[in-house]
Amino acid sequence: MSSQMYTELSAAPSSGSALELRFAEDTSLTEVMRLRVQSLQRSGQKRQEGERLLLPHEAVYRLDFANQELTFVHWSVSLIGNGRVTVTGISQLWTPDLTHLMTRQLLEPVGTFWRNAGDPEDTPLKCLEADIQEFGERIAELAKVRKVMYFLFAFKEGAEADKVSISVEFNQA
């Protein structure tokens, strides 16, 4: 049974039609990032200065923007059970086959959603509302110059990828 948080913060006036974009795991980019870590471990090399390696509890996700004139409305997040999910945006078009992910490419604020261990499963998810509002607005701004945007999802404290669903709703111009 899934418990869902449906947060609507500073909803933009409805000047266009609604568009819900669901984050999708980019399994090929996640695999490239994991292979980079394995390669460094096998060869005994260290990461480049400022390089951000993928941790075991992380995966790369993406949003594809068919329409680039968007206004942020709200996040929709569901999590089965307890745990913490952190969504971190990546600031520029990034091609891991050509360049390594650098820490300076990570956006702030991040979106963090959680339910504590011991909380009943029907307890709404917690979040830092000001941060997720600002993050959603930032995604809408970056969509103006991109057709795709990448994100790091970190699953902690019992959260697992197959128990989490996250989408963002926008108004289209």
Q: What is the pLDDT of residue 91?
A: 83
Specify whether the CB–CB gap between 156 and 83 falls below 8 A: yes
Confidence category of residue 73, pLDDT binned at 50, 70, 90: very high
* 173: three-class secondary structure by DSSP: coil
What local confidence, expressed as pLDDT, does residue 96 receive? 65
pLDDT score, position 173 = 78
Q: Which amino acid is at 169?
A: E
Rg (CA), the chain: 17
pLDDT at 94 > cutoff 70: no
Structure tokens at 42: 């096998």
Using DSSP's 3-state secondary structure scheme, residue 37 falls into: helix
